[in-house]
Chains A and B, each alone.
Chain A
C-alpha cells in the first residue's frame, strides 16, 4: 500500500476494482421506469423556453412526449434531426446552463425536468436497437465538399451535406475521427467506446469518406481544397495550448491538461497511466475540472485546482465545480502562477501569488504561497493555430470570423466549432455551426 501511495509520478496506485469503479459511467442513465416518470414531468410548454435555450434547437417537449408515449425511436429522431451528435451532447452538455436552466419547472420547484438524462435515454435506446436508418440521402447532386477536422462541427457539417445529396471528404490530423469527442472529454462521461460508436452510426448514412492522420498545411493545403471542392468547411478546433506566462522549465511533471485527458481517453489500462501523489491544476474551465477529477480517479492523493479569480468567474459551471469537490478536489481561488519549482528535472511544486480584483482589474497582493506538486497541469485555455489555414482568412482575437451562416472571409469556405470567434466553445454549439454551415453550403452548391 505504501508503495502505491508513494511520492512522485507513478502508475498503479489503485486496485483493479478501484480503477473499474472510478472510470465507470459517472452518471447512471435513467432506466425505463425513471424515464417514464421524468418524462411525465414535462409540461409540454408552448414555444418552449428549453428549445430556445438549446443551441441546436432540439424540440425538447416533442422528444420527451415521445418518451412518455413509449416511442423511443421517435424521440431519438426528434433529437438527432436537429443534433446529429445528440448522444454525446446528452453526456457532455452543461444542461444546467442550457435547456434545464430554461425549464419552467425551475420557477416553483427549483427542479427542472432532467432533459439531459432523458435525451440520453432516448439516444441510448435508439443506438442499442437502431433498426431502419433514421436518415437517408437525397438523390446525388454530383457535388463534393471537403471538411478539415472530424470533430463535432465537421461531423455535423458532413452528415447534413451527405443527407442533402452531396459527397464529403473529411480530413483529421489525429489517428481517429471525433475531435474532442474522442480526445477531449473525460473518460467517465463517455464510457464503452461511445464516441466511436456514435461516429460509426453517423457515417453509416454514406457519402462521407474520412482520412485520418492528415494535417492541414503539412499533408494538404487549403487552396487546393478550395480549387477542387465545391465547398470547404474548417473545423480544426484549438490545437495550441496557452502558456502559463511564467518561465516553464524543462521538467518532468509540467504538462498540458489536454494532452493528459487525451492520453487517458486512449488508455486501455488505467493502471498503466502514471499520476503524481500531489497534483496542481492551473485554470478554471472544464478542462481543469476534467484533469483534476481524473487525477483523483487515478489515485492522486492531493489535487488542487488553482484559479486566478473567484468562483463566479470560472468557466466551469457550478455543477462541474461541485463535481470536482465531490471527487475530493480542492479549488483554490484568487491565486496566479508565479514560479514552477523544479529540482533535478522534476517538478516539485508551484508558487502562486495571491490576487484580488481592483476596479475589475486583477492585481497581485504581493504575498505568495507554494503548493508541493509532482505534476502541474496547465489548463488555462487553448488557442487556435491559424498558420496552416493561410494568411488570407480573417481572424478576430486569433480565431476565424464567420457570419450567421458560418461563412468565412474566403469564398466557398465555411468554418465552425472552437476555431471560430464567439460562443462558449461547447460541443453542442459546434454541432449547430456545422449544421448551419451545411445548409448554407447546400444552397450555394445547388445555385
Chain B
C-alpha cells in the first residue's frame, strides 16, 4: 500500500499567512503591547542618551551604547527588550491553534483542500513576520532618536552590529513564539496555554539563575585545593545557564553591542597573553564568538516547532 500522501503541503500557506498577519497587525492586544514597548523604549533611550551626554567624552561606539547604557531608575533599552520580546511573542502565539478550535473554525479550514502543515506553518511564519516588523520599526525608531539627539550618524560597523542584533532578537522571539505555539496545540484552553507559556518564561527569566548554582553543586563537587574542579564547576554552571534562551540572548547581545567582549566563558590568564585589554573586536570576530549562541537559539526554535508540528498532525479534528 502506498503510504505517501499526495499533493504539496504548501498549498494554501500564502492565504493562511496573509490572514494571520492581517489578524496580528490589527488585533487590539498587539496595539497595546506596541504602545507599551514604544513608551518604555522611548523612555529608556531618552535617559540613556542623557546619561551618555553627561558621562562619555569620546567613544567609538556611541550608537551601540544607546542600547546598553542605563540611567537610574530606568533599565537599559536592551533589558527592556529582553523582558518584553518574550511577552510579545507569547501574546502572538498562545491562542494560535486552540483559538481556531474554540471558534469552531478549525474543522472548516481543514476541510479545505490544504494540509495541516500549511495552517501551522502559516501561523508561525505570520507570528514571526509580525515580530520582525515590530522589531525593525522599533530599531529604526531608536536609531532615528539617536541621530536626532546625538547629532551623529551611526558608523557602518555600528549598523552592521545593529542588524546582527536585530536578527538575534527575532530568533529569540521565535523561540518564545514556538513555546506559545506548542502550548496552543497541547492545551485546549487559551487561558491555560497563555499561563503555561508565561510560567516557562518566568522560570527562565527569574528563577533559572537561582536554580543553576544548586544544580551545579549537586553535579560537581568542588575541591578548594584543585583549581581544575573549580573550572569544571564554572563550565557546568555555564552550560546549564545556556539551556535558557534568555542567557543565549543576553550573551549574544553582549558580544554584539559591546565590541570589546572577547569571550563569553571563563578566560585563563594564558589566553589573555598579548591581548590589548579593552580593544574592540572586528564585527566578524564578534559574530564568530556568538555563532554557537545563535545556532542554539535557532535550534531551540526548530525543536519546539517540530514538537508542535508532530502534536498537531496527530490531533483529532473534532473538538
**Do these two chains interact?**
no
Residues of B within 8 A of A (CB): none
- Chain A residues within 8 Å of B, Cβ to Cβ: none
